[in-house]
Amino acid sequence: MTASSLESGSRGAGNKVGTRNVLAKIWQQDGPGYMFLLPWLIGFFGLTVGPMVTSLYLSFTDFDLLTDPNWVGASNYVRMFTADPKFAAAMRVTFFFVIFSVPLKLAFALLVAMLLNRGLRGLPLYRAIFYLPSLLGTSVAIAILWRQLFAGDGLVNQFLANFGIDGPSWISNPRYSLWTLIVLSVWQFGSPMIIFLAGLRQIPQDMYEAASLDGASKFRQFYKITLPLLTPVVFFNAIVQTIEAFKSFTPAFVISGGTGAPINSTLFYTLYLYQEAFGFFRMGYASALAWFLLAMIAAFTAFSFLTSKYWVHYDD
Amino acid sequence: MTLRLNRRRFLMGSSALMAAGAVGLRPVLAQDGRIRLLFWGGQDRADRTYGVSDLFESQTGAAVDGEFLGWGDYWTKLGTQTAGGNAPDVMQMDYRYIVEYATRGAIAPLDEFVGEVLELADFDADQIEGGRVNDQLYGISLGANSVAMLNNLSAFEQVGIDPPDRNTTYADWREMGEAFNSSDIGMKALSDGSGVEPMLDNWLRQQGLMLYTADGELGFGEDEAVEWFRMWQELREADIIVSAEQQALDTGGGLEATMVVQKLSASMPSNSNQLVAYQSLMEDDLSISSYPRIEPGSGGGHYRKPSMFFSVAGSSSAKETAARFVNFFVNDVEAAEILGVERGIPCAEHVREALAPQLDEKSRIALEFVANLDDLLGPLPPPPPPAAGEIDSSLLRTISQEIAFGARSPEDGGRAFVEGARDILSRASS
């Protein structure tokens, strides 16, 4: 209502003057809109685009916070791939985390969504409860809780002790520490679960009815009906969760005290980036790391979109 | 039409206001004679510090806005604020960083204030020396301390052996560890010190070596590094020290996660000024002793370290007020009574004399420990090179864990440590 009166108002003004060029006309039409967007635009350019462009520049310098940056060409990027064992370690840890946490989390989320989709009473309540861990999300409090759960004398080992199992100190043993973080990530299955649930409800019931009349088993129904019709949702969830997993920071930071310990086994890419930037003040190198992370995520997302036509099934 | 113009004007005006606000922010904060103070530490230190800044305000009218963070976050915040031209007027500074900050002009030389608003007549000479960079005074020591073993006396009593003292050697520690193992106390004698930089430093100094030379080179070689890790490997294999998993629980985040507080070991390497803070966390009776000697009669490993400094920002517009506050902090007896020895032993003699009779037992132990190091005492080492922090946190601790978890042999670890440290040093200086 406001928009249309506004539009006609500016058009009227444009006609009156008559001899304006195209740009001015566009301004006449859209100018007020941009003015309304201005507070957001200032934030977007000042707080997002500006710093990003600056960091691209800094990634070609040796900026160390205290002295002025010097141009060093591509040497930060060269060092990353040729002379930085910690970078390699961080890449290994991050890819391991992404490769295991994302499928496990999606599978778990789908499982819970299917359980909830069986016409339960009080569904909203269950949905809310299962979503809760995701709300608490990657908070510091949860990471501390995890530390307590998986420490040597933590709850997990006290439980295992009932079965005569003497569990290791999960979080401080390099063999298991990353797995505790993967379990933490899987536990936060709420947001893909909600999306799966919505997707499941879109699948017409008559398909299942027809399938069971034809004698298809539950498993076959899942495999032939649910999964294909759900692929767009799986696709969406996979991309979102993978990006999240690449960016994961807080749990590793809290559980390892910011060190990536023990023996760099929880040295997530972002944690390494943080160490370089704020631990050792190598802002130039850290900027280069950040841009490579962006490139990695972009490449992965592009790859997913390119391959999607082979496995994502759209109804229409 | 009129309406539209008004709306535009309003938008223009408000965005201009926003821009002005963004630009005008800093002058607004910096005005009216307040100074800002940033320091690292815990709540106890903060309470004492704010007590002194309140006292300073009531006596001089100059307000001090204090803020404190944990050690790790502190350097991040200070670095960011300094880079943003918004450094606090007074900042807590460490021996590890003072050269870096001084040579870059991030902190100001204080020589012009000495004898004026900054009184150092009866200040310990070695503590003044510790705050000098290139013959200029950049930091005022807030207290002297020394590395020390933190010992749980109750545990030693329970096991039925004498606690360690100034003559205890590494070999003695091994015997004590065996006594612990044959008791049913369920605690090791010692934490794993193989990744503790000051302990390695102390061990090297007893052999006449050092961690870093004055030119910022590594002061020891592969042989020493291998021997160091081998010594700890032997203690580990003999079950004298805590397990790798247990030691890895202490990620350096705070006192609570340390081996003594977790009651996993009776003793661990620490600092003399921290006795008070640790005792406040534990029921058991705690005390301190010197680091182990490498053999009977060897000494010179310890030194009286300026535990921390106050420095004044190079960009500060109120340097004189800032220097006045620093002076008040280290010289005023009433302030000293609030501060106690929590930051180390006061460096001004008149403060020490006034304070000594009023100290509680643990504080007096710390004071006497630092005052009576005698033959354990060696010269103050040169300030470490800027890369020392990285060598400590990302190399020494990682390799010590790799050996403890069996991923490397002590020989391999020693070689990797020296090689890695040289690599980091050369990268930092290039």
Tens digits of residue pLDDT in B131-166: 998 889 999 999 988 999 999 999 999 999 999 999
Surface of A (262-301) touching B: CB under 8 A? 262-264, 275, 278-281
Residues of chain A with CATH 1.10.3720.10: 76-311
The residue out of B339, B361, B376 marking a domain boundary is: B376
Dihedral of CA B276/B278/B282/B285: which sign?
negative
Under the banding of pLDDT at 50, 70 and 90, the label for residue B48 is very high
**Structure tokens belonging to residue B351:** 């403060």
Of B22, B82, B405, the CB nearest to A174: B405
Residues 6+ positions from A83 with CB-CB distance below 8 Å = none
Q: Which of A15, A55, A65, A170 to mutate to test the interface with B (most CBs of B within 10 A)?
A: A65
- B413 vs B419: CA distance, rounded Å: 10
pLDDT at B259 over 80: yes
Provide long-range contacts, Cβ within 8 A and 24+ apart, for B40-49: B40/B68, B40/B69, B40/B70, B40/B71, B40/B74, B40/B92, B41/B68, B41/B92, B42/B70, B42/B254, B42/B255, B42/B277, B44/B277, B44/B280, B44/B342, B45/B342, B45/B343, B48/B338, B48/B339, B48/B340, B48/B342, B49/B339
pLDDT at A79 over 70: yes
Cβ <8 Å between B8 and A35: yes
Nearest 5°: CA angle at B133, between B132 and B135? Answer: 75
Residues of A within 8 A of B413 (CB-CB) are none
Same domain? B394 vs B296 = yes
pLDDT at A101 over 90: yes
Phi, psi of B306, deg, nearest 5: -65, 115
pLDDT 10s digits, A28-61? 888 888 889 999 999 999 999 999 999 999 999 9
Q: What is the pLDDT of residue A137?
A: 64
On whether any CB of chain B is under 8 Å from the CB of A171, the answer is yes
- B14 vs A31: CA distance, rounded Å: 16
User: What letters, b where the CB count within 10 A reaches 16 and e where it falls short, cover A195-205?
Assistant: bbbebbeeeee
pLDDT at A223 over 70: yes
Name the percent of chain B lying above pLDDT 90: 49
Establish if B52 belongs to a structural domain. yes
Contact status, residue B347 vs residue B330, Cβ threshold 8 Å: yes
Same domain? B102 vs B154 = no
Same domain? B300 vs B400 = yes
Q: What is the pLDDT of residue B4?
A: 42
pLDDT at B5 over 80: no
User: What letters, b where the CB count within 10 A reaches 16 and e where it falls short, cover B168-195?
Assistant: bbbebbbebbeebbeeebebbbbbbbbb
Same domain? B267 vs B413 = yes
Q: What is the pLDDT of residue B253?
A: 66
CATH number of residue B342's parent domain: 3.40.190.10
As for how many domains chain B has, the answer is 2
- Average pLDDT over every residue of A67-85: 87
- CATH class, A76-311 region: mainly alpha
Same domain? B418 vs B293 = yes
- B122 vs B109: CA distance, rounded Å: 20
- Average pLDDT over every residue of B21-26: 39
pLDDT at B8 over 60: no
Same domain? B339 vs B194 = no
Surface of A (62-81) touching B: CB under 8 A? 65-67
- A112 vs A107: CA distance, rounded Å: 9
Same domain? B262 vs B406 = yes
Residues of B within 8 A of A171 (CB-CB) are 249
pLDDT at B309 over 60: yes
Contact status, residue B292 vs residue B379, Cβ threshold 8 Å: no
User: Pick the residue with more confidence: B378 or A3?
Assistant: B378
Establish if B26 belongs to a structural domain. no
H-helix segments, B31-70:
43-60
Same domain? B236 vs B259 = yes
Q: What is the pLDDT of residue A18?
A: 53
List the beta bridge partners of residue B114.
B118
Is the confidence metric ipTM above 0.95 for this complex?
A: no
On whether any CB of chain B is under 8 Å from the CB of A152, the answer is yes
Of B22, B80, B394, the CB nearest to A65: B80
pLDDT at B3 over 50: no
User: In the predicted model, what is the mean pLDDT of chain A?
Assistant: 83
Q: What is the pLDDT of residue B99?
A: 84
Q: What is the pLDDT of residue A20?
A: 62
- Average pLDDT over every residue of B304-317: 91
pLDDT at B10 over 80: no
Contact status, residue B366 vs residue B348, Cβ threshold 8 Å: no
Q: What is the pLDDT of residue B2?
A: 36
Same domain? B404 vs B292 = yes
pLDDT at A14 over 70: no
Contact status, residue A263 vs residue B405, Cβ threshold 8 Å: yes
Q: What is the pLDDT of residue B323?
A: 93
Q: How far is A248 from chain B (nearest CA, A)?
A: 19
Cβ <8 Å between B249 and A151: yes
Establish if B23 belongs to a structural domain. no
pLDDT at A2 over 60: no
Same domain? B363 vs B282 = no
- B106 vs B330: CA distance, rounded Å: 22
Q: How far is B19 from chain A (nearest CA, A)?
A: 9
Phi, psi of A296, deg, nearest 5: -60, -50
- Average pLDDT over every residue of A251-267: 81
Same domain? B109 vs B215 = no
Establish if B176 belongs to a structural domain. yes
Of A46, A262, A275, the CB nearest to B405: A262
Residue of A nearest to B72 (CA): A279
Which range is most confident: A127-141, B12-26, B339-353?
B339-353
pLDDT at B31 over 80: no
* Domain span holding position B264: 147-304+378-429
